[in-house]
């Protein structure tokens, strides 16, 4: 399973839309300060009846499954990566396109604008040398060709933000996004086979049947292309990670937030893991991970195999939210002892929904040897406790 954040966004559905409405029509200060957090939006619609759900593993067929599954409520195409130019100047990026269904059935189509499919896009670029983080957000309806998904030739887009594949499949995948003075144009290629997360691609979220998603990843993609920051263009290469997930799910009431890691180690291994937090601060037993070896073999990691500790605290000067400043991850069975440090401290996504997501550096030991790596980290719902 990947992107609990996205998963939750999916859950929000209409609730999120309401917060969009709040922003579009008469923004009220009260809503902007306290309201634009995941927490407040959570109170909204969690209607799941009428949608298809993920009950059992299914066969995946490509390129069709790269495309849309509109009978599920939520779906996303999530790309992150770490890049560098020939001089070693580092960048991190995220481009995510979310599909959200507002209703199980498409409405009676009297105008092509009428649709139940809505798209949200997040685009972020971290300029490590400049210690800058740029984040953008877009919304669109999935109609009139403004935003949408097609399987062949593969393309998912929102305005001119797009992931574009080829006639035969998703790769080589072109990732293009641009806003204001920030632009990204990359070609991604596979270096490892596809990873079906969870049980053959069925990622169970809680004990309740159907509370699961279909989830696959490409954990290590080669990337090359250009990054543009304030009129300057950089030729870059690096690695990327693509997550695909669709579901109709709901979080348990006791779950409060999560931390998600996508780590690429220098020895060729990749590590996906997440910790779901309970309101009392403890970790949910459904927290877990996957270890992918250099040749693409996978091993599921259960929560009791891991020791994950937040280190220190970083207080966002803009929002006051308190995030862990660093993490320590130990996997005794794999002889791994890793420290995960943000490449830039402030990679907070101050968008309609607020979270921290950014490029991280990995240092540590594999047995007796030193090991390094990099990756992406997502931390959600660290907002100040609301005093009642």
Question: Beta strands of 279-368 (E only): which ranges?
Answer: 288-292, 298-302, 307-311, 314-315, 322-323, 326-331, 336-342, 348-350, 354-366
- DSSP bridge partners of 84: 90, 237
Structure tokens at 88: 């070693």
Q: Which is nearer to another protein, 202 or 227 (CB)?
A: 227
- Residue 164 in contact with another protein, rule: CB under 8 A: no
Residue among 110 and 295 whose Cβ is closer to another protein: 110
Helices (H), the chain: 4-12, 14-24, 29-30, 38-42
Q: Which of 160, 208, 267, 307 binds another protein (CB under 8 A)?
A: 160
The pair of three-digit structure tokens given for residue 118, joined into one six-digit string:
């809505």
Helix axes 4-12 and 14-24, enclosed angle (nearest 10)? 80
Q: How far apart are CA 24 and CA 18, in angstroms?
A: 10
Q: Using the rule CB under 8 A, which residue among 146, 187, 283, 325 binds another protein?
A: 146
Task: Estimate to the nearest angstrom the gap between the alpha carbon of 289 and the chain centroid.
Answer: 15
Closer CB to another protein, residue 80 or residue 115? 115
Two tokens at 291? 């270890």
Is residue 201 within 8 Å of residue 212, measured between CB atoms?
Answer: no
Written as six digits, the tokens of 28 are 């009220």
Footprint on residues 293-352 left by another protein (CB under 8 A): none
Q: Using CB under 8 A as the criterion, what x/- string covers residues 55-74 for binding another protein?
A: --------------------
Does 207 bind another protein (CB under 8 A)? Our answer is no
- Stretch of 21-29, 88-96, 223-231, 318-326 contacting another protein, by CB under 8 A: 21-29
How many residues bind another protein (CB under 8 A)? The answer is 38
Pair 9, 121: CB distance under 8 Å: no
Does 118 participate in binding another protein (rule CB under 8 A)?
yes
Nearer to another protein, 72 or 139 (CB): 139
102 or 129: CB nearest another protein: 102
Interface with another protein (CB under 8 A), residue from 157, 274, 286, 327: 157
SS3 at position 333: helix
CA distance 196 to 96: 19
Question: 259: number of CA atoms within 13 Å, CB side?
Answer: 19
| 139 belongs to the binding site for another protein (CB under 8 A) | yes
Report if residue 103 touches another protein, rule: CB under 8 A: yes
Asked if 250 and 211 touch (Cβ cutoff 8 Å), the reply is yes
- Tell me if 363 contacts another protein by CB under 8 A: no
Q: Which window, 76-84, 105-113, 225-233, 247-255, contacts another protein (CB under 8 A)?
A: 105-113
Using CB under 8 A, which of 33, 58, 113, 332 touches another protein? 113
What is residue 16's three-state secondary structure? helix
**Between 104 and 169, whose beta carbon lies closer to another protein?**
104
Going by their DSSP bridges, the two strands 117-127 and 90-101 should be labelled as antiparallel
**Would you say 107 or 209 has its CB closer to another protein?**
107
42 touching another protein, by CB under 8 A:
no
Binding site for another protein (CB under 8 A): 14, 17-18, 20-26, 28, 30-31, 45, 102-103, 107-108, 110-116, 118, 138-141, 144-146, 157, 159-160, 178-179
């Amino acid at each position: 399973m990947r992107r609990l954040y996205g998963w939750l966004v999916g859950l929000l559905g209409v609730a999120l839309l309401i917060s969009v409405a709040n922003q579009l029509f008469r923004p009220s200060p009260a809503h902007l300060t306290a309201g634009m957090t995941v927490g407040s939006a959570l109170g909204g619609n969690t209607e799941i009846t009428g949608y298809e759900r993920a009950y059992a593993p299914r066969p995946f067929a490509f390129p069709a499954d790269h495309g849309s599954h509109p009978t599920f409520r939520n779906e996303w195409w999530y790309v992150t990566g770490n890049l560098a130019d020939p001089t070693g100047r580092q960048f991190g990026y995220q481009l995510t396109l979310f599909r959200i269904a507002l209703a199980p059935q498409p409405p009676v189509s009297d105008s092509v604008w009428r649709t139940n499919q809505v798209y949200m896009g997040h685009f972020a670029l971290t300029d490590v040398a400049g210690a800058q983080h740029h984040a953008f957000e877009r919304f669109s309806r999935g109609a009139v060709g403004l935003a949408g998904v097609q399987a062949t030739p593969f393309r998912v887009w929102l305005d001119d933000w797009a992931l574009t594949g080829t006639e035969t499949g998703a790769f080589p995948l072109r990732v293009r996004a641009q806003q204001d003075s920030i632009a990204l144009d990359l070609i991604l290629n596979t270096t490892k086979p596809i990873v079906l997360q969870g049980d053959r691609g069925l990622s169970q979220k809680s004990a309740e049947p159907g509370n699961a998603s279909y989830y696959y990843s490409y954990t290590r993609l080669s990337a090359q292309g250009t990054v543009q920051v304030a009129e300057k263009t950089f030729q870059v290469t690096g690695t990327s990670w693509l997550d695909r997930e669709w579901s109709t799910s709901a979080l348990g009431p006791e779950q409060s937030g999560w931390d998600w890691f996508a780590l690429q180690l220098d020895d060729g291994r990749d590590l996906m893991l997440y910790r779901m937090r309970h309101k009392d601060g403890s970790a949910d037993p459904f927290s877990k991970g996957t270890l992918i070896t250099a040749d693409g073999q996978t091993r599921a990691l259960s929560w009791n195999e891991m020791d994950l500790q937040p280190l220190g605290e970083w207080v966002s000067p803009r929002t006051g939210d308190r995030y862990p400043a660093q993490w320590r991850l130990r996997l005794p069975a794999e002889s791994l002892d890793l420290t995960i440090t943000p490449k830039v401290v402030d990679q907070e996504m101050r968008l309609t929904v607020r979270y921290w997501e950014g490029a991280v550096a990995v240092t540590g030991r594999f047995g007796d040897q030193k090991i390094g790596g990099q990756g992406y980290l997502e931390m959600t719902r660290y907002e100040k406790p609301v005093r009642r």
